[in-house]
Amino acid sequence: MRLTFALVLLAAVLLAPSASATAPSAMASKGCSIGDSRGYGTTYVTKISVSGTSCRAARSLIRAYHACRPGKSGKCRSVKGYSCSEHRFNKGRISYDSNVTCRKGGKTVKHTYTQFT
């Protein structure tokens, strides 16, 4: 009797749906290594984070974003099918910092850069 009960209990545990299978999945953002911070077409990229895509794809997108910008003060609204927005801060005579967010469906790429003017 105990063996039967133990087997039934074990089967119930193994066949029960897991919490992760029924919970909605949310994609957490993760940080990416920058590599050569000056290799993106701007003065310095200082931070990269992604959600729903790879770090490699993010670095490619960031390079394309900065190639799209018309000059040091320019902004790019879309690149590679992503819609991008930019917020500049720490504006001074010789430089500014900027946060850029690019989105395409469930994919998000964010980066921060410093531009010397």
Looking at residue 18, its pLDDT comes to: 40
78-79 and 44-51 as β-strands: parallel, antiparallel, unpaired?
A: unpaired
Six-digit token string for 70: 């018309």
The closest alpha carbon to 95, from 73, 115, 71, 111, belongs to 115
Q: Report the pLDDT value the prediction gives residue 3, as an integer from 0 to 100.
A: 38
- Looking at residue 26, its pLDDT comes to 54
pLDDT for the residue numbered 46: 95
Please report, as a single letter, which amino acid is at residue 2.
R
In one-letter notation, the amino acid at residue 37 is S
CA angle, residues 37, 96, 39, in degrees to nearest 5: 20
Q: In a structure prediction context, what are the per-residue pLDDT tens digits for the chain, which is 117 residues long?
A: 443 433 333 344 334 444 344 334 456 789 999 998 888 988 899 999 999 999 999 999 999 999 999 888 899 999 999 999 999 999 999 999 999 999 999 999 999 999 998
